[in-house]
């Protein structure tokens, strides 16, 4: 490889890792019929004049496989937390018990499972697009270096390295998607 040109593969790898991390976060927010505290991460509560994550206004627990509880620390915020959950689009009906909010997780029907697998597929496609955009940036850097005197052999070596990295990350995305879809369809 050329001594004059050094592609920042660490930066490309870091950006591709970011796409995988983001995908896993999005997958965690998908409700699979099992209780998980991570399903509440995107829900924000209007607390003390700013939007705050639920885990910063109360303790989130999963006491049973089909139940999530939130022990709200400030009694005045119980109504706001309940409202935020109702309006979040999670499809969960909160039940109040003093400062504890219970969220029973209903069983998913076949139609909803199919919808969730499609949503998971769209999340995976967004991650693939992100990885391909990083690859394109790397290829553009290589083309600029070729204009600056890089040999064709060096150009081919760098392009192969970027493509191999891309293929590895696309395979990770596909594997994560397959696992998540199997989890969603499991009854």
In terms of domains, do 80 and 132 share one? no
Instruction: Read off the CATH number of the domain in which 141 is found.
Output: 1.10.132.20
Average pLDDT over residues 105-120: 84
Model pLDDT for residues 139-177, shown as the tens digit of each residue? 999 988 888 888 889 889 999 999 999 999 999 999 999
Do both 23 and 113 map to the same domain? yes
Give the domain-ending residue among 85, 104, 123: 104
CATH number at residue 55: 3.30.1360.40
Mean pLDDT for the stretch of residues 122-150: 91
* pLDDT given for residue 109 in this prediction: 82
Q: What is the pLDDT of residues 54-95, one digit of tens each?
A: 889 999 998 888 889 999 998 989 999 999 988 877 778 899
63 and 91, same domain (yes or no): yes
Q: What residues make up the domain containing 158?
A: 9-27+109-185
Rounded Cα gap, residues 166 and 172, in angstroms: 10
What is the rounded CA–CA span in Å between residue 147 and residue 159?
15
State how far the Cα of 169 lies from the Cα of 132, in Å rounded to an integer: 10
Q: Nearest-CA neighbor of 184 among 73, 27, 32, 50?
A: 32
pTM beyond 0.85: no
pLDDT given for residue 16 in this prediction: 94
Q: Which tens digit of pLDDT belongs to each residue from 4-53?
A: 567 888 999 999 999 999 998 888 777 666 777 777 887 889 888 899 99
Of 117, 76, 115, 70, the residue nearest 96 (C-alpha): 70
Whether residues 72 and 162 share a domain: the answer is no
């Amino acid at each position: 490889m050329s001594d004059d040109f050094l592609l920042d593969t660490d930066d490309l790898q870091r950006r591709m890792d970011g796409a995988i991390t983001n995908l896993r976060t999005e997958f965690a927010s998908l409700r699979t019929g099992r209780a998980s505290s991570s399903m509440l991460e995107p829900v924000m509560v209007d607390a003390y004049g700013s939007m705050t994550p639920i885990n910063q206004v109360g303790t989130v627990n999963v006491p049973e496989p089909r139940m999530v509880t939130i022990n709200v620390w400030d009694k005045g915020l119980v109504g706001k937390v309940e409202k935020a959950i109702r309006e979040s689009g999670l499809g969960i009906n909160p039940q109040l018990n003093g400062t504890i909010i219970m969220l029973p997780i209903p069983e998913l029907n076949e139609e909803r499972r199919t919808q969730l697998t499609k949503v998971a597929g769209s999340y995976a496609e967004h991650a693939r697009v992100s990885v391909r955009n990083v690859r394109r940036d790397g290829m553009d850097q290589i083309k600029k270096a070729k204009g600056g005197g890089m040999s064709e052999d060096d150009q081919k070596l760098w392009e192969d390295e970027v493509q191999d990295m891309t293929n590895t990350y696309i395979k990770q995305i596909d594997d994560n998607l397959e696992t998540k879809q199997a989890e969603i369809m499991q009854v």
